[in-house]
Structure 1
Amino acid sequence: MFYNNPFDSWTSAGSGQSTGAILRDGANPAPSVFGALPYPADPSTMQSFFFTSYNPNIFNCTIVGPKAQPAYQIITDNSMPGYSVVKNVQGHNVSLVEWQAHPAVEIRGMVSKQHVKDCSRAMEVRGMRYMWVPRDKTINLYAATTGTPTFMARINRSNGAIVLEMTADAMQLGLLEPTITACLLLQCGRNID
């Protein structure tokens, strides 16, 4: 039995047959994602943040921004066991994670103190709901709106570093600090439930 491939017309676009897609510079058209699952943004338009300088792991590391400059630090001080702090480049505390039987997290001015299990995979920031969803070798963040969820960010591992990539929309919505904190929680290797 043979099936018609609805995407077969992409390969014949250069042969003069119309596919209904707009050709740019004579190149083959990009595939249509209308009606498909959310399609990640063009990587060239995303901003990347690298978790580096592990001492010895993500609990003590530096987060380098898109301009290869340190932007944040995660500090787990031995003098305060059971706490991890995310600090911005100015040294101000951004978020606090309490590592206890049921870990808790607080993000200054955005998320009041709550149990990690309640906000690590589904989080609410400034009245909007977001969901972390594993996909292949990444963990993607989507705005949980009505209709099709909107892709906002992704976490992946590259060359021994954890990489957080964010869309321009996510940056404008002020999601950087909540996603850095979520990245710590999702990549720390501890039980957060």
Structure 2
Amino acid sequence: MFNPFDSWSQAGNGQSASNAWNGVGQPPSVFGALPYPSDPNYSSMVTFYFTSFNPNILNCSVVGPRAQTYYRIVTDNQMPGYSVIKNAEGRNVSLVEWQTLPMIEVRGVLAKQHVRTWLGLTSDRSSRTMTVRGMQYTWSPSDKSINLYAGGPRDRKFLARISRANGAISLDMTSDAMQLGLLDIVVVAAFLLQCGRNID
């Protein structure tokens, strides 16, 4: 089954420099050029890292600003087939049941349902949608990240991104996403999108 989120982490995704310039002359020199302006979408981001893999993301910690642990993901051998996401206070935030069709529950936000229902592929299989508190969001691969947007194709608003570098997984969230109270649900979605297991 085609997974649109497989290719983004592979190196060499984009066009080569010669292709990008359509073979017309040489690319312009950037020596001495002013710094390229940063994308306003990515300003004032809060970054979280999935870290301390034991041996992988199925058992890890999620740390945020000031290296504070915000979540622990535990896939306990004593509860085979389950992954639990706990917050900094040790309370269960989410439970994933690994079955033929995996199930997900997020306490107080998402009733127990199939992961493929909640994080469903779009009809063209290029993105995944999720509904949280009646609002629809879209996860879309973009270069070397998976970006989260609110709204439709014409008026979509960037909220978060998942990216990989040097074996680490980072989650950047905008202040808007934090104010919408999406941290728990986005961490759960990021875990599911990066766990390496079939979620469909």
Shorter-chain TM-score: what band? 0.7 to 0.9
Change (3 A) 1:30 1:55: closer
Correspondence for 1:110? 109
**How does the TM-score come out when normalised to structure 1?**
0.77
Partner of 1:124, secondary structure, is strand
Asked whether the 8 Å contact 1:40–1:151 carries over to 2, the reply is no
* Structure 2: gaps spanning 5 or more residues: 1-33, 120-127
1:134 maps to 2:141 = yes
Partner of 2:116, secondary structure, is helix
Higher relative contact order (CA 8 A, sep 6+): 2
Whole-angstrom distance in 1 between the partners of 2:153 and 2:50: 33
Q: CA deviation at 1:146?
A: 7.4
What letter corresponds to residue 61 of structure 2 in structure 1? T
Change (3 A) 1:99 1:151: same
Q: CA deviation at 1:30?
A: 5.4
Whole-angstrom distance in 1 between the partners of 2:35 and 2:145: 28
Cα RMSD after superposing both structures = 1.9
**How does the TM-score come out when normalised to structure 2?**
0.75
User: How many residues in Structure 1 have an aligned counterpart in Structure 2?
Assistant: 159
Correspondence for 1:97? 96
* Structure 1: gaps spanning 5 or more residues: 1-26, 32-38
Same amino acid, percent of matched pairs: 58
Partner of 1:41, secondary structure, is helix
What letter corresponds to residue 76 of structure 2 in structure 1? D
Whole-angstrom distance in 2 between the partners of 1:187 and 1:29: 31
1:159 maps to 2:158 = no
Q: CA deviation at 1:122?
A: 1.1
Correspondence for 1:148? 155
Asked whether the 8 Å contact 1:59–1:75 carries over to 2, the reply is yes
Q: CA deviation at 1:111?
A: 1.0
Q: CA deviation at 1:145?
A: 4.2
Whole-angstrom distance in 1 between the partners of 2:191 and 2:36: 39
Looking at CA atoms only, which structure, 1 or 2, has the larger radius of gyration? Answer: 1
